[in-house]
Amino acid sequence: MTVLEQPGAYAPVPPPSWRPRTDAAPLLPDAEPYRVLGTSTADREATGSHAGPDGELLRRLYAAVVHGRRFNEQATALTRQGRLAVYPSSRGQEACQVAAALALREHDWLFPSYRDTLAAVARGLDPVEVLSLLRGDWHHGYDSPGTRVAPLCTPLATQLPHAVGLAHAARLKGDEVAALALVGDGGTSEGDFHEALNFAAVWQAPCVFLVQNNGFAISVPLAKQTAAPSLAHKAVGYGMPGRLVDGNDAVAVHEVLCEALARARTGGGPTLVEAVTYRLEAHTNADDATRYRTDSEVEAWRAHDPVTLLERELRSRGLLEEKAVREIEEAAERQAAELRERMHQDPPLDPTQLFAHVYAEPTPQLRNQADQLRAELAAGEAGEESR
């Protein structure tokens, strides 16, 4: 008979450090997505919102989503012209991307996924540099430490643990820095998602997770990924607040993210935000979306377009005149024209960069391969000169 089998020898008493959570209710999201645009003052007061969005913020968000819409259109066209290898459009999701960028402070960090090019541009990065990776370059194109924007991440959700690690390090150092990590609904099915949220909650890391639920992980609908009432409900399992927001309402997304980031910076820990949105374009230019969704579904979401929602709010409050609309659209067109011109210029290529930054100390095999390449390039140049 073992010690545990002896009567009275073992009492299943939890250790003093373990306490059951009895305060789960405050962590649960609202039953319906939080929204601001198109709601009445009474509705906003009932949900704890302010009397109405600030006019200056409305104008900033509107200008940014109009620029973002034109950026998406131009980048999509560049794939058809062979200037981009692939482009995952965020058309229809501009509110999420713009609100994320504008909610950050200068010293905060953004951890984007491959679809979040617009968020990086709205953060202030050079559009050509942001598109470098999608162009097929060997690096992601911009200075991450200088811009505080991590590389666009193609593997699903692998940027989330990185965001938690950076946020945790900042907290240990005493820096008032928050990390905002963006991920799609498909990324929530990855192990990295679980690991990141678990560590963030245990460490109380100043990290906010924004899930852009656009309905499909390529062609897989959300119902085939999870049985949870919403993705925001997953937060309670990790011990952090979950927020559910209308992802096409730029003001609502901005408000929720600002609150979550402020909470993170002041020691309140992480938050999981689910923004319910929709990608109007296919997954990428290599995808045929008609195989898994109907035109009527897409048209229904066009009626809830983020650009239209903002414009309607501004016009109803007398904050947007036709002249201002034209000026914003013309500025967006100039940005698109500059992007088009610069992307049609072939970048200078140095094949020997293939061997740079592979190892701190190149291996003998790598040095031999580099020497062979240089010899081939020299022979090619000599042949051209002799013609």
Supply the residues annotated as catalytic. Answer: 279, 283, 292
Q: Alpha-carbon distance 124 to 145, whole Å? A: 14
Please, where are the H alpha helices in the chain?
41-46, 55-80, 94-103, 117-122, 127-130, 132-135, 144-147, 159-173, 191-203, 235-238, 250-265, 295-302, 306-316, 322-343, 364-386
Say which residues have a Cβ less than 8 Å from residue 261's Cβ, sequence separation at least 6.
Answer: 103, 104, 105, 108, 178, 180, 208
Phi-psi label, residue 12: left if phi above 0, alpha if psi -120 to 50, beta otherwise: beta
CB 92 within 8 A of CB 275: no
Residue 73's φ and ψ, nearest 5 degrees, are -65, -45
Give how far the C-alpha of residue 59 lies from the chain's centroid of Cα atoms, to the nearest Å: 22
Place of tokens 């498909």: 186
